[in-house]
Amino acid sequence: MRTPIAAGNWKMNFGPRQAAQFASVIRDPLRAISGAEIVLFPPFISIPAVHQILAGTTIGLGAQNLSDQPGGAYTGEVAASMIAELCQWVIVGHSERRHYYGETDALVNSKTRLALSANLTPIVCVGEDLEDREANLTERVITTQVRGSLGDLPAEQIGRVVVAYEPVWAIGTGRAATRQDAEDVIQLIRALMSELYGQGVADNTRILYGGSVTAANIGEFMASPQIDGALVGGASLKPEFVDIANVIASSKAGA
Ligand code: 13P
């Protein structure tokens, strides 16, 4: 049984003051939810403020990125071990990092290793862009990304890895994938995980959907036995995230 995940990626929104304010608004309604792991991903500078607000709750905290180096003279970077002082989670290889900052599968792979060795739970993102989809290249692109980003990870830590399928054309566009689109690709990702690590690992790996998730469409995604939760962007900046988390938590009850 895979515990579902409701993850809120705040992206580059909410400095420390606003982050603390918003976290105080959603904390109590979120902590009342059981049956899902709930995780907030503020910008780096706001992590300590949110950490304080969440103290004493089981709501998870994560970073949106990490350095590909373990430490030292890398101006502007933040190492996995530093993140692990305040967080349990980290997003790796988000499409915005891949597209705007040139992150490759090889880089995503080494960041994922560093996250695992610092005991963080990585959410590794994959997803095709519109051009790929229209050229019928989705399967090829996802296969390359999964093998490159998720291949050859340490067997004893692979159980901790979470994957997020975020089709680039669905991110921030208001045009979510259909449940069928998401399910097809997530099934492919699970099959690739099985090739890499065996069926047992594939069956236990949690795979999330991300891309224009709202309180109105989350139920449709969660009705799929393949989809283990969501990585939410825009809607995670609003109290609507509580509604989304509630649906995610209740959807697999009794499954
Ligand atoms: P939106 O929910 O704003 O489309 O963003 C999705 C996303 O990129 C989450 O990481």
Ligand 1 atom nearest to CA at 94: 10
37 residue type, one letter: E
- Catalytic residue numbers? 94, 166
Ligand 1 atom nearest to CA at 235: 2
pLDDT, averaged in runs of 10, over the chain (255 residues): 97 98 98 97 98 98 98 98 98 98 98 98 98 97 98 96 97 95 98 98 98 98 97 98 98 69
Please give the pLDDT value at position 1.
84
Please give the pLDDT value at position 255.
54
- Degrees (nearest 5) of the Cα angle 91, 40, 35? 105
Give the closest residue (by CA) to ligand 1 atom 9.
Answer: 233
Give the closest residue (by CA) to ligand 1 atom 1.
Answer: 233
Please give the pLDDT value at position 38.
98
| DSSP structural state of residue 212 | S
Distance CA 49, CA 56 (A): 14
Write down the pTM of the prediction. 0.98
The residue extents of the domains of the chain are 5-251
CB atoms within 10 A of CB 162: 24
- The answer, yes or no, to whether any atom of ligand 1 lies below 6 A from the CB of 229, is no
Q: Where are the beta strands (DSSP E) in the chain?
A: 5-9, 37-41, 60-63, 89-92, 121-126, 162-165, 206-210, 229-232
Domain 5-251: which topology? TIM Barrel (3.20.20)
